[in-house]
Amino acid sequence: MQDRSAEGRPAVPTVPAVPTVRDAAFEVLRRLGLTTVFGNPGSTEIPFLTGLPGDMTFRLALHEGPVVGLATGWALARDRPALVNLHTTAGLGNAVAALATARANRAPLVVLVGQQDRRHLAHDPFLAGRLAGLAGEYPVWTHQPVRAQDVPGALARAHHEAVTARGPALVAVPMDDWDAPAGPGRDAAPVAVCRPRVPGGEGAARIAESLGASRAPVIVAGAGADDPGTWDALAALAGRLGAPVWQEPFGARAGFPQDHPAFAGHLPPGRSALRAALAAHDVLLVVGAPVFRQYPREPGDLVPDGMRVLQVTPYPDEAHNSVADLAVIADPAEVCREVAGRISPREAAWPGRAPVAPAEVPAPGGPLRPAHVFDLLARLLPADAVLVEETPSSRPELHRRVPARAPLGFLSAAAGGLGFGLPAAAGVKLGAPHRPVIAVLGDGSSLYGIQGLWSAAHYGAGVLFVVLANGGYAIMDRLAEQAGHAAPPWPSFGEVRVSAIAEGLGCPARRITSYGELERVLAEVVPGLAGRDAPLLLDVEVAADPAYG
């Protein structure tokens, strides 16, 4: 007998809703932990973003550079991929420099790029993107699914590619794909990927043999060693060998505790000075770093004549383009532990670093210099602070005066382009809210990612932004002077007030012009950084450093 409604009419059969590609994609994203979306939306993203499920969170930035910068900091703080949403050609084009930095910083990102409606792409409609190749070779993987039903699997594969290759993986999705019915069966990507930790085997044995036979070994640590396990393993190996440990040139992260007695300092970026720093040693072990990144070009070899070079890195590309005699692609912590167990202990040959004398406090009305700022930070920052740096003209002085004392204690842009530091610091704080986070930025550098201040303020990222305002591109001025050519054509911009811009973006700010005022403000703010839920920008007027490097 036919069912009837309460009014006596025949009941309308209930038709189950057909799952869409969007529904299936959200299930994949949930499974992979990609439930926070960093983006700056456009029309091609409307079908994906509107009506987000309650367990998905959207984080807006006002330009695609800060979008990727926020996601990069978030991913590095949490050591897992972040999800980025970009708007077709314009959004991806604006984000390319930040994606290059994410690739160099080994930040795993899943980048979802909107595309025009698939049904009229053949007619090259308005906002259709020629997306393949737009970001060059900076993505570790780029794909536009052939069918709408392939989108969920493409997102899963992008996650696996981003984790395996440690970089941004791009998926371009036509806007009408999201409402298409989901396909039956399994996606063309593994549900999960298991990546074994390779201990090194024969490579560890050969490294131990070379180090055991060495007269005066030395270690260089890099960004790929910046995790608690590798810090512990490297400290144990350095103690066993009695060898000093240097930080790689241009290291985007600290690969070794910089308050350890074995820490020798930061290797210089030029070949001649680097060879001089390593001249007393016969065997060099490089852990978690390339051999070596240099700038500018200088004549001569990278390392002293006769030195044997050993390398341990988790990244094949670092091994394949190095000058090592032996490169081992494996987990650095496991290899260092195995090597330490194979060698006999030696007396420490740690010369010890000469203490850096504090900069003389300026007289009343005298100019502040970056060294004054860094001395105060070194005195006040807690050991677990994350310092995000983007102040090229003052970086050597910062390295001398503010040591990294915990993993992720130091973070900077590995690619060298500007605009990373400000949004990345906000992303780090959002990703690791328990850590104190401070960003030390140049005024010129901060302008490349200044829109990130709105996101920091809106989402409660309690970062202390310290902007060293010298009113110009000081690093460029110094390099121009060193080149010995005619005067550079660019002007200074001393009239720019980053603090005024910050307040216009909703970020509290203060202009600091004296040492006493800076000391008082830092003493008030720094102790509460870990629990801070609102950003603060200090626009500190400083005199330019007279030299760089």
Which CATH code fits 370-541?
3.40.50.970
Separation CA 437–CA 429 (nearest Å): 6
Separation CA 81–CA 71 (nearest Å): 9
Q: Into which CATH architecture does domain 202-342 fall? A: 3-Layer(aba) Sandwich (3.40)
Q: Do 21-179 and 202-342 fold alike per CATH?
A: yes
Instruction: Enumerate the domain spans of the chain.
Output: 21-179, 202-342, 370-541
Separation CA 221–CA 289 (nearest Å): 6
- Model confidence pLDDT, tens digit, residues 29-73: 999 999 999 999 999 999 999 999 999 999 999 999 999 999 999
Instruction: Tell the burial category of 357 from Cβ atoms under 10 Å away from its Cβ (0-12, 13-18, 19+).
Output: exposed
User: From 3.30.70.370, 3.40.50.720, 3.40.50.620, 3.40.50.970, which CATH number describes the 21-179 domain?
Assistant: 3.40.50.970
- Model confidence pLDDT, tens digit, residues 485-495: 777 887 888 88
Residue 317 CB contacts under 8 Å (≥ 6 apart), including other chains: none
Mean pLDDT per block of 10 residues along the chain (549 residues) reads 52 69 96 97 94 97 98 98 97 97 97 93 88 94 95 96 96 96 83 77 93 97 97 97 95 96 94 94 96 85 94 93 92 96 91 86 92 97 98 93 98 92 98 98 95 98 97 77 76 88 98 97 98 97 69
pLDDT at 14: 57
Q: At what angle do helices 64-78 and 88-104 cross, to 10 degrees?
A: 40
Backbone CA torsion sign across 504, 387, 105, 113: negative
* Contact in structure between 381 and 438 (CB atoms under 8 Å): yes
Separation CA 433–CA 69 (nearest Å): 17
